[in-house]
Amino acid sequence: MMKRFFTTGIVCFAVSLGGCDSSNVDTLEARLLVASNNITSIEVTSTSEVIEVDRSRDLTLTGTIGDTETVVTRSAEWASSNPEIISVSNAGVVTGLVDGSATITATLGPLTSAIELRASTAVLQVINIETEATDATIDECASVSFTASGDYSDGETGRPITGLVAWSVSAGSIGVFDGDNRGLLRSNNAGVGTIEAALDGIEGTISLTVSDNLATISITDDGTTLSASNAVQYTATASYLDNANTVDITNNADWSLDASFASVSTSLPDKGIVTATSTGTDTLEASCGGQTGSLSVNSGSATEIEELFFNLDSPSRATFSGLETFQLNAFIRFENGTNRDVTEEADWIEISSNTALISVDDRDGSKGEVTIRGPGRLVIEARYLDDDNDTPQTFPRQFTVIRDAP
């Protein structure tokens, strides 16, 4: 999760760019986001070029960083050329109001992207459902995605409506739909089921077969040592009688751990994560389709802290080239080799400085954020108090930031 970049000092820096009003703050933040992440371009996309009147759809804004892409929808400023026809929210959600067209523009610092959309009052007449499953058949406890499209009264066919319809299994207890991933079915039993998509009183259906072929379920950990200071993600994998497939069913299985020293998350999106509160050993189970996999889990001791360390090397030295922020994270390392992020638990202190242009944030939610407004030198100290033992102990670590004059 990306933290907010701006402190009060940065807000005041806006004076040199035309004032400290809120619009300039937004512009500065967006420009900093673009510059610090090396975003070279942005693109607005929509699942459909047609927006139903009195309905809303989410737009997506994608930023390109080298050869990768990242979603920056909620960081942009959004505008509609005809807000009386199609409105757009600060989160990129468009709503059709009356028949007509509008251009929706997203601005992220110096970058812009636009898309032409049409609002329509045409009436939905038919819902068509398609699936990625070959012959509409899947392995037991596997997941499968469905897509829905609509045919409308104005002659338009195939309009994507996957995110608008209500998905359900109207017959056959073969699984459940994921509430956060529209159209994704998580199967949990063999059988034949009827998949239904409904919108505006119109229903579309398709049959799905879940094969009775589950052989075994195995559980593995993520390589992390379980302790009272370290949660572990466990994975459930299914193998089958009639093919060589192995499928990750972590999010489809039912998890259980009847232990006093630890618990397992049984709900999405954290299924299979085991959190310990003390030491102990017990059996973790994952069940699906009438089969159960098990694994002995052991929570070891991690009460002795060896050191406090940072995610970056000290000193951080470069030539000042403009307004800059970066996140400094603090970690504690236990005697069993496990680590824990304590950035928000530590106290962040400015030990010495030859400038007021470099600072570190010690506010909750922004701890460890370093802001650089000009050249200078700052020595930062993070202090973590370990009060879990009889004798509380403070672990300090210093970090030096140097920005040379151009």
* CATH, residue 80: 2.60.40.1080
Q: CB–CB of 380/399 below 8 Å?
A: yes
* Domain presence at residue 187: yes
CATH number assigned to the domain comprising residue 131: 2.60.40.10
pLDDT at 335 over 90: no
Identify which has the larger pLDDT, 7 or 295: 295
Task: Look at residues 210, 235, 257 and tell me which one is the last residue of a structural domain.
Answer: 210
Domain with 96, as residue range(s), is: 38-119
Identify whether residues 287 and 310 lie together within a single domain: no
* Domain presence at residue 43: yes
Alpha-carbon torsion, ordered 103, 106, 107, 113, to 10 deg: -70
Q: Residue type at 355?
A: T
The mean pLDDT of 342-369, rounded to a whole number, is: 94
- Kindly state the helix (H) or strand (E) to which residue 283 belongs, with its residue range: strand 280-288
Q: Where are the alpha helices (DSSP H) in 219-356?
A: none
pLDDT at 2 over 90: no
Q: CB–CB of 220/256 below 8 Å?
A: no
Identify whether residues 318 and 289 lie together within a single domain: no
SS3 271: coil
Identify whether residues 88 and 147 lie together within a single domain: no
Identify whether residues 310 and 384 lie together within a single domain: yes
The mean pLDDT of 222-231, rounded to a whole number, is: 80
Q: Residue type at 259?
A: A
pLDDT at 21 over 70: no
Task: Look at residues 299, 330, 346 and tell me which one is the last residue of a structural domain.
Answer: 299
The pLDDT assigned to 26 comes to 54
Cα 297 from Cα 283, distance rounded (Å): 6
Q: List beta partners, residue 219.
A: 236
Identify whether residues 138 and 227 lie together within a single domain: no
The pLDDT assigned to 368 comes to 96
* Domain presence at residue 324: yes
CA-nearest of 306, 137, 100, 127 to 200 is 127
pLDDT at 283 over 70: yes
Identify whether residues 277 and 195 lie together within a single domain: no
393-404 vs 280-288, strand pairing mode: unpaired
The mean pLDDT of 220-235, rounded to a whole number, is: 85
* Domain presence at residue 275: yes
Lookup: tokens for 384: 């973590």
The pLDDT assigned to 28 comes to 76
Task: Look at residues 299, 322, 355 and tell me which one is the last residue of a structural domain.
Answer: 299
Lookup: tokens for 232: 């572990």
Identify whether residues 295 and 339 lie together within a single domain: no
Going across the sheet that includes 291-299, the strands are: 254-257, 280-288, 291-299
CATH number assigned to the domain comprising residue 256: 2.60.40
Identify whether residues 236 and 323 lie together within a single domain: no
* Domain presence at residue 93: yes
Give the contacts of 166 (CB within 8 A, at least 6 positions apart): 197, 198, 199
CATH number assigned to the domain comprising residue 386: 2.60.40.60
Cα 119 from Cα 315, distance rounded (Å): 56
* Domain presence at residue 246: yes
Q: How many domains are contained in the chain?
A: 4
Per-residue confidence band for 46, with pLDDT thresholds at 50, 70 and 90: very high
Q: List beta partners, residue 64.
A: 41, 69
Neighbour-count burial of 378, counting CB atoms closer than 10 A to its CB (0-12 exposed, 13-18 middle, 19+ buried): buried
pLDDT at 244 over 90: yes
Identify whether residues 285 and 346 lie together within a single domain: no
Identify whether residues 357 and 387 lie together within a single domain: yes
Instruction: Work out the mean pLDDT of the chain and round it to a whole number.
Output: 89
Identify whether residues 83 and 111 lie together within a single domain: yes
Lookup: tokens for 52: 């139903």
Cα 211 from Cα 31, distance rounded (Å): 52
Q: CB–CB of 126/202 below 8 Å?
A: yes
Per-residue confidence band for 5, with pLDDT thresholds at 50, 70 and 90: very low
Return the minimum-mean-pLDDT range out of 55-64, 122-131, 388-397.
388-397
Which residue bears the tokens 């379920």? 217
* Domain presence at residue 221: yes
Identify whether residues 313 and 386 lie together within a single domain: yes
* Domain presence at residue 70: yes
The pLDDT assigned to 305 comes to 84
pLDDT at 20 over 70: no
Per-residue confidence band for 102, with pLDDT thresholds at 50, 70 and 90: very high
Cα 239 from Cα 383, distance rounded (Å): 49
